Amino acid sequence: MFKPVRATYLTEPLPQVRQLRRRFLQMAGASLLLTVHPVRAAAPAILSVRVWPGSDYTRVTLESSTPLDYKSFSVKDPERLVLDIDGVDLTGPLTQLAGKVNESDPYIKLLRAGKNKPGTVRLVFELKVSVKPQVFRLQPIGEYGNRLVVDLYPENPADPLLALLQDKQQDAAAAPAEDARAQNGRKQATPDDDVPDASANKGPIFTVMIDPGHGGEDPGAIGSRGTHEKAITLAIGKRLRQLINEQPNMRASMTRDADFFVPLADRVRKARRINADLFISIHADAFLTPTAKGSSVFALSENGASSTAAKWLAKKENEADQVGGVRMSVGDPYLKRTLFDLTQTATISDSLKLGNSVLGEIGGINRLHKGAVEQASFAVLKAPDIPSILVETAFISNPDEEAKLLDEAYQDKMARAILNGIRKFAAKNPTAVKLKVASASS
């Protein structure tokens, strides 16, 4: 369910008879091999290789039938990372790995694969900048087998506040063209010219952290047409960023702006590092039955989930770290916390107000799954001092809603609805913003 299935999905199915015949021949061949040759200890087979370049880090994943034995070390002048993998042959997917690195990769200049000594394959990563590599194995989960992961983090990461300003400038520069193109659509799609403008009073800059769910190794839910949740959440997230950055006193940042995985704790950390006023996590999940439909909005709960479905969904979302792949030692005190303090209680109260405001706007463009904000223990909503909501834009598991989610006009309407919800909340609850500013400057 978690593994990208697009390729197999699109393959033309073999006619039933040919498939059976092929299976029979495979079985016959397999038993023949076993009877003629003595059985050798099974070498790990590399099943798949993937490269996920991102602004935060680039990840290279080797998926194998059994756990891989490896050694890694760094070499200076020029910067390289060497990874020796024992007991594998330089065949199959391993031979394609080098070709999967893009010229635009922020961290890898070149990747070479070769035989080091008998039974060892050596990968050499030639690097563009100094990196702090993290090499670790992941246990099988969902549809994934054993994974060996190489994460290349920059030694000197970009300043998130500077990046935020650059985003705003970029979007502002892109805005005029976008404006002209979208002028007509916007007039229709924005039913509330009566929204009090939060920017009218020359208040402080209002910062929103947009969190497109999943990414990279974690595709999220997959629709029946093969649509990945991670692609939809990124598309809507980017639209929302553009819309927010067009507002005079608002600016937006994203926990990810490309197809790479960000651990749940890092999403929260990123929001706190830029002192975000609000945190909006965007999703488009699956449910057990394809008939489930409608949008919903969630906030963190202090004691128990508001429904069984909300609890089930939070549990599924919280599994993202296992699927996306996080080194086990990386922890975060906020995510493990079970006791809540007064700050968190006040934050949840603001989260519910924000959630209701956004839910009201979404109700204008899509059927609502439930008429009220639901609550459950979502790890990504646990910033103690930032009102945070998770928007399930629609069910990707429902074929009609999957079609909607793929529709750019719907993505745009959804982003505008979220923006209007945020603006109404900010106009009605200026203290939620002011308190934040006060505590930041103290």
| Nearest approach, Cβ of residue 153 and Zn ion (Å) | 25
Label the pairing between strands 80-86 and 120-127.
antiparallel
CB closer to Zn ion, 233 vs 344: 233
| Nearest approach, Cβ of residue 312 and Zn ion (Å) | 12
CB closer to Zn ion, 230 vs 251: 230
| Nearest approach, Cβ of residue 284 and Zn ion (Å) | 7
- Kindly list the residues in this chain that would bind Zn ion in the complex (CB under 5 A): 213, 220, 283, 285
CB closer to Zn ion, 119 vs 142: 142
Sheet holding 146-154, edge to edge: 46-52, 58-64, 146-154, 131-138
CB closer to Zn ion, 238 vs 283: 283
| Nearest approach, Cβ of residue 116 and Zn ion (Å) | 41
| Nearest approach, Cβ of residue 117 and Zn ion (Å) | 44
CB closer to Zn ion, 58 vs 296: 296
User: Closest Cα partner for 346 from 440, 244, 431?
Assistant: 431
| Nearest approach, Cβ of residue 50 and Zn ion (Å) | 20
| Nearest approach, Cβ of residue 230 and Zn ion (Å) | 8
CB closer to Zn ion, 283 vs 423: 283
In the block, which residue shows the tokens 């756990």?
Answer: 67
In Å, the largest CA–CA distance within the chain is: 84
Respond yes or no on whether the N-terminal peptide bond of residue 157 is cis (omega within 30° of 0). Answer: no
CB closer to Zn ion, 108 vs 379: 379
